[in-house]
Structure 1
Amino acid sequence: MHILCRLYPWSGTRVGGRETFLILFSCVSDFWSDRTPLHEAAYQGRLLQIRSLIVQGFHVDTLTMDRVSPLHEACLGGHYACAKFLLDNGANRSASIHTPHLLASPVHEAAKKGHRECLELLLSYGADIDMELPVVGTPLYSACMARAAACVRLLLHSGAAVRIGCGQDSPLHAAVRGGGPNVVDILLDFGADECCRNAEGKTPLDLSSANSAVRVGLQKKGTRCGHSRELHKPI
């Protein structure tokens, strides 16, 4: 697709309008050609169709070229019954995590989309609650970035490490970036370290906007870090 885009740029030079469209359309079709009916059924939440396709011989862990599994699709869509059926039929709960694509696992997908029931299901089937992936971080980190408070609470009640996020970035840093004051409160109640510094040397308080609900929440809980130089900058 990248080669075709270079040969036929969108700059207005015509290479035969209709013909160009057909070439590009064909390329897009090839890109999606490895997405199976099982993936589509899982994403749409069609349980009966999933059952039928597996009976017909579709493998429960069929992967696309980008290593997306049907379980990924079910968790993205928040389809609990479909996810449970796939797991009951042997789906890999940690599918496609060790790949060059650094794709989030199903538990990350459920956490960041706020699909609490799917998340609880995956954890009950033994998904790694503190699985940390490059860029993606842990499921808790993903949920904090997305302000998915119900999933944050579930993960913490289920034993997720409150201080493990993405490299030196903590879940609390993620919650501040995401702008979720309720998520910040939950993390602090579970012992999050408001003084921890990320790779840039910033604390969560440093990342918060002046007069924001997030900053008020951090200060209300009694930050022990002292005043950051950032707080004294003119606004």
Structure 2
Amino acid sequence: MSAHSFVFSSKVLRSLELEREAIEAQELRKRCQTYYVSQGRRAEIPRTPRVGRGTQKPFLLCEDRLIHNALYTGDIQRVQQFFSKSTAVNLVIEGSHEELQWSSQRLGIWSLCYKQEFTTPLQITASRGYDRCLRHLLSCGAEVDFAPGGKTALHEACENAQTECVRLLLSYGANPNAFSEDGYTPLHLCSSPESLPCAAHLLKFGGHVNSRTEDKDDTALHIAARFGLEEHVTRYLEYGASVNRMNDCGQTPLHCVCAQTHGKEDVERYYRVCKLLIEQGASVNALDEEKQSALHLACRTANNKIVNLLLHQGIDVNRMDYGGNAPMHKALQAVAYRLELEPEHTVRSLLNYGSIRIWPGAIPKVLKFCSQSPRTIEVLINVYDRLKVTDDWMESVPLKLFQEHQEFYDSLFALSQKPRSLQHLARCTIRNQLDGQCQKLVPELPLPTVLQEYLLLQFRGYVS
């Protein structure tokens, strides 16, 4: 198809032409500068690398598949055969990245192809944990911080939790505070439980615990908190990590741990990280750029243990964010998506600590979005001494869910024909007198446990 008949506008076409010319020029330079390694025959041609930081320098491109195979499989005998102190060990290997990009072919046809990236023998062996090969390359004089693709070998080793390779690289002088092209230090890439020994080595060799990433201004503590890495958090705090430092979104590490979505199996782990941060002085009242507290974020992820911890610390249960949402709104918005974490417990805790109630006129909307969780509906209804049940209520519950939880919804809709029970009215009266301090004061009342639980909105599976 000719340019004159192309469906894009002239502005778009011009943009495509400029991009095509740039890529073709780059491909031409690449063909002119290609360095081949074949059958032991080597020629040195300079090339300018894509280096994220530091001084750019020429490098040698290796396209010998035998060498590639030896490095990627960790074949120490062949690595020793191909690399010695008399050969170039700072070769560069060009490979394909999983990311796709538009590229122009010789005939002027544009197509999606895999993005090319550069790596080195040192990076390949370090990222895969081939410590014997790595030791040999280092002993042959490999440049330890060489980063033609924007990452050093130390970045790669930390990202893949290769402890022995991290130790080796640091002992040979690798910079523990080098920034990658994306603005990360090796410590920022220690984001898995297995990477704890790597982080320990980095700190021991002078890694800066409060260095910030370029994209989000995160410290290592932000990242460890976000991934629920309790031991990392402990280690960073021991090395002076700032517990209340904010990133570019105004979030502290406490915000990060509360905001991170996680499964039921990780509830305890994230709770322990949150508790540790608070014990070390994290401010529960800090607000991010959206004026959200840690409680807003914890309600959205429905971790009731964290919610109770924050409420026990005296956090404001009714603070509004920029969008006009209180923590209760965040909790209700998350109900349908966090059923496995039993979000009704979060709603109950908020009400027992004095949360505002929802406007009665909004109950049909709540029924529509929270009908999969009858317990959530139950606890919300039980803070009112009277409500007018309308046809909108019944129409808001999908038939399938009504049938699945028919006993509960029958008891709910029956309120249109009868008043609430005397027992419930007494409960409302006592709760109103306690004025938002139910969780604190009810356990001190001289009442049987069953009555205390009733006052605290214990679930019963029906309303009366």
Question: Structure 2-normalised TM-score?
Answer: 0.43
Q: Counterpart in 1 of 2:162?
A: 46
Cα distance change of structure 1 residues 7 and 53 upon mapping to structure 2, 3 Å threshold = closer
Say if 1:132 and 1:165, in contact at 8 Å, map to a contact too.
Answer: no
Query: Which has the larger share of strand?
Result: 2
Deviates more, 1:86-95 or 1:43-52: 43-52
Q: Structure 1 residue aligned with 2:297, among 174, 184, 188?
A: 174
Q: Counterpart in 1 of 2:184?
A: 68
**Relative contact order, CA 8 A, sep 6+: which one is greater?**
1
Q: Structure 2 residue aligned with 1:186, among 309, 314, 319?
A: 309
Tell me the amino acid that sits aligned with residue 217 of structure 1. S
> d(CA) in 1 for partners of 2:361 and 2:258?
24
The answer on 1:25 being equivalent to 2:115 is yes
Say if 2:319 and 2:326, in contact at 8 Å, map to a contact too.
Answer: yes
Q: State the SS of the aligned residue for 1:127.
A: coil
Could you report, residue by residue, the CA deviation over 1:176-230 in whole angstroms, capped at 9, with x for unpaired residues? 111211111111111111011111121101222167332122113333xx33438
Could you report, residue by residue, the CA deviation over 1:134-170 in whole angstroms, capped at 9, with x for unpaired residues? 2261100000012621111111111110111413110
> d(CA) in 1 for partners of 2:248 and 2:174?
31
> d(CA) in 2 for partners of 1:230 and 1:91?
55
> d(CA) in 2 for partners of 1:38 and 1:194?
45
* Aligned pairs (5 A) from 1:106-185: 106-135=220-249, 137-146=251-260, 148-167=270-289, 168-185=291-308
> d(CA) in 1 for partners of 2:227 and 2:250?
13
> d(CA) in 2 for partners of 1:46 and 1:165?
37
Cα distance change of structure 1 residues 115 and 8 upon mapping to structure 2, 3 Å threshold = same
CA RMSD of aligned residues (A): 2.8
- How many correspondences in the alignment? 220
> d(CA) in 2 for partners of 1:171 and 1:110?
16
Tell me the amino acid that sits aligned with residue 137 of structure 1. Q
Q: Alpha-carbon deviation of 1:6?
A: 7.7
Larger-gyration structure (1/2): 2
Q: Counterpart in 2 of 1:77?
A: 192
> d(CA) in 1 for partners of 2:229 and 2:273?
7
Q: Alpha-carbon deviation of 1:7?
A: 4.9
Q: Alpha-carbon deviation of 1:105?
A: 1.4
Q: Counterpart in 1 of 2:123?
A: none
Tell me the amino acid that sits aligned with residue 350 of structure 2. L
Q: Counterpart in 1 of 2:359?
A: 229
The answer on 1:212 being equivalent to 2:344 is yes
Say if 2:351 and 2:357, in contact at 8 Å, map to a contact too.
Answer: no
Cα distance change of structure 1 residues 71 and 89 upon mapping to structure 2, 3 Å threshold = same
Deviates more, 1:163-172 or 1:77-86: 77-86
Q: State the SS of the aligned residue for 2:115.
A: helix
Gaps of 5+ in 1: none
Could you report, residue by residue, the CA deviation over 1:11-63 in whole angstroms, capped at 9, with x for unpaired residues? xxx9387xx63xx432x448981122111211222222112112223211111
* Percent identity of equivalent pairs: 23
Question: Structure 1-normalised TM-score?
Answer: 0.82
> d(CA) in 2 for partners of 1:202 and 1:117?
34
Deviates more, 1:202-211 or 1:169-178: 202-211
